[in-house]
Structure 1
Amino acid sequence: MSKEHGQGPDLSRIEHEAVGWVQKVASGEATPEELQAALAWRVQSPLHAKAYEDAERVWNRMGVVGRAQHGRDMDFVGPLKEFGQRKAALNRRMMLGGGAAVIGIAAVYGGMNPPLGLWPSLSELRADFRTGTGQQQTIRFVEAVAIDLNTQTSLAIRPATAQEDCIELLAGEASFATQGRLARSLAVFAANGKTVSDSGRFDVRYIATSDHAAVNVTCFEGQLRIEFRDDVAELRPGQRVRYDGVGLSEIGTVDLAVESEWRRGVVEFRSTPLADAVEEMNRYRPGRIILVNPALGRRLLSGRFRIDQMERVLLQLEHTFQAKLQRLPGGIVLLS
């Protein structure tokens, strides 16, 4: 970064650089080369990624008024220090200052296809809870509901009704567990569907690509009701249903031990086409693995891997499939 910022004693060099990159990106005036440079800076290490995410989170939470007070040519070291000291106390919805902030952010991000997932989608900007690449988190939603968020997952709280406590899965994968029978049902919205539970445990996975989006709902305990358009499905433990643009699928059975592996920090592939495995690996690994050989993408991969050790998977691909790895700046790997 060429832009200089006055450095306070409580922020590291990396944190100050993160501030500069966030302001550059949010200005709407960054060139494609600068956007790629921001990506390369962000993914060069976990420290850089965390600093960028912290600075970006503060920028969003300051709202339009707060950003105007700091001005385009000034950093926001004070709010960033406060964020580091009182991270748990910040409430995003209060700090955004309502719809005006959303409109301001939309002006920057709207219509953009973030390169390699560098920025959150427009819908994810309204998340109350969000995990970054490779991160997992457990939260408490109402008194008797615990939620485990997998990597790259965003959740937004919806207003409750007389019968239901409501939350929306904007993107990613989450596991919902209740303690006993709920006084009000838990309703989880994802895409245009809704999953309702009175007790038990279930997973909802919503992954969207440029040409397809689908929601998978898996029942581990209790009983579920899934509503999509005019269709309804009821699930029992060990069952799964999927809905997408085509409609609600038939109910299928799954191996619950495999389906819950991610909650133990493990990803498991069982004769998975390599193209699909690479997409899943990209959810846990900074940067991007790009498959440039379609024939290789049809090969099948099996194995259990720690989600924080995706580099070992790449080494296995190189050994097992005689694949060639070309490493580029910013954590980008060409696989052929």
Structure 2
Amino acid sequence: MTETKDDNDLLDRAIDWVALLRSGRATVGDAERLQRWRALSPAHEAAFRQAARIYRDLGVMGTELERRKVRPFVARRVVTRRALIGGALAASVAGYMVVKPPLELWPSLAEMSADYRTAKGEQLDVALTDNVSLKLNTQTSVAVRGSGINPRIELISGEAAISSRRLVSEPLVVIAADGQIASSAGEVNVRCIDGVVLAVCIQGSITVSHGGRSVELTSGQQIAYSASEPLGKPVPVADPDMLAAWRDKLLVFKDEPLAAVVSEINRYRPGKIVVTSTELGRRLVNGTFHIDKLDDFVAQVRQLYAVKVRALPGGLVLLS
């Protein structure tokens, strides 16, 4: 397909948006204006995705530009705008750079460039192919590499239950942080939050690879890894019902510190709750909460622990 000057102008503007997000000066208003700009037309959205992906691939520019067949003049433009896009290729996670907005008040650049993304409290079912399906939990971003019957899935952030019915010789590959999970026939639950990955084999078997090691898991086993923690040994899933609860729109906590519970609640509830007291954050929580009724959570905590609650603009709630 022949590219026009309008296409190039849109890509230029999209790169400017990426540069603003990377600069650290972006505000909530800027994020809202960007969303409106992306919604102007399919071409605007496509330009933003291309700009975001070029930015993410800067760390491996040579091989990626060749593989993606990005035009040479686009590569030169990206190089000349390195100062705008952030200069050095630091802050890289698994070869990709992720911009974290303050207090997570809007999605990161990598999340906004995803092929599928859920907002807070939202879940999404995706039939990727005839033999691959995904259920995305709240605040989950997924990119799909390749096309047709042999896709590769990148879990940028969040949590997904992934089912596959593939030939053993052609397993489905899920990339998460700096590792990957391969599954031929079965179901896997993968969670990737702040670069920490937890892979759970629900049915069948999976192979998890990270840091030069590969470990096979069977049904009912889980394993974790991160950039700072090597791949360990598979361990049994302590409570399968708790693992599957999110798919029934439930959050179940058993003897979890309040700080950890609030961190998880924040992934589903609009705004952000902050526990300002370390001692309060250590208090243990037992309970089941419905995802669609999390507005009651703050009131319940206030009643249970007699805490002080301070509501601030922007949906920020302080517990002390």
Rounded to whole Å, the distance in 1 between the matches of 2:168 and 2:44 is 27
Q: TM-score, normalised by structure 1?
A: 0.69
* Cα distance between partner residues in 2 of 1:111 and 1:198: 30
Give the whole-Å Cα distance in 1 for the aligned partners of 2:108 and 2:301: 31
What's the CA shift for 1:237? 1.3
2:128 maps to 1:166:
no
Measure how far apart 1:182 and its partner are.
Answer: 6.9
CA gap of 1:252–1:100, structure 2 versus 1, over 3 A, is closer
1:257 and 2:241 matched: yes
Residue 150 of structure 1, CA deviation:
0.5
Structure 2 CA distance for partners of 1:248 and 1:93, relative to 1, 3 Å? farther
Residue in structure 2 matched with residue 130 of structure 1 by the alignment:
117
Q: In the TM superposition, what is the alpha-carbon distance from 1:135 to its structure 2 partner? A: 1.0
- Identify if the C-alpha distance between structure 1 residues 303 and 125 changes in structure 2 by more than 3 Å, giving closer, same or farther: same
Counterpart of 1:154?
A: 141
Letter of the aligned partner of 2:208 in structure 1?
I
Uncovered stretches (5+) of structure 1, i.e. residues with no partner: 1-24, 43-51, 62-75, 80-89
**Alignment CA distance shift 1:321-1:122 (3 Å):** same
Q: Counterparts of 1:1-336 in structure 2 under 5 Å? A: 28=20, 35=27, 38=29, 52=32, 56-57=34-35, 59-60=37-38, 76=40, 79=41, 94-96=46-48, 98-99=50-51, 102-103=54-55, 107=84, 113-159=100-146, 165-179=151-165, 184-208=170-194, 213-244=195-226, 245-254=228-237, 255-336=239-320
Distance 1:146 1:111, change over 3 A: closer
Cα offsets for 1:135-159 (capped at 9, x unmatched): 1101111221110001111001123
- Check 1:33–1:240 CA distance in 2 against 1; reply closer, same or farther (3 A cut): closer
**Secondary structure in structure 2 of the residue aligned to 1:120:** coil
Whole-Å Cα distance in 1 between the matches of residues 216 and 27 of structure 2?
46
Gaps of 5+ in 2: 1-16, 56-77, 87-96
Aligned Cα root-mean-square deviation (Å): 3.4
Greater mean alpha carbon deviation, residues 283-292 or residues 306-315:
306-315
Quick check: 248-257 or 114-123, which moved more? 114-123
Q: Secondary structure at 1:98's aligned position in 2?
A: helix
Runs of 4+ in 1 over 6 A off after TM superposition: 108-111
Distance change (3 Å), C-alpha of 1:113 and 1:139: closer
Residue identity in the other structure for 2:281: G
**Residues of 1 paired with 2:52 and 2:116: CA distance?**
20
Letter of the aligned partner of 2:160 in structure 1? A
Q: In structure 1, how many angstroms separate the alpha carbons of the residues matched to 2:206 and 2:44?
A: 31
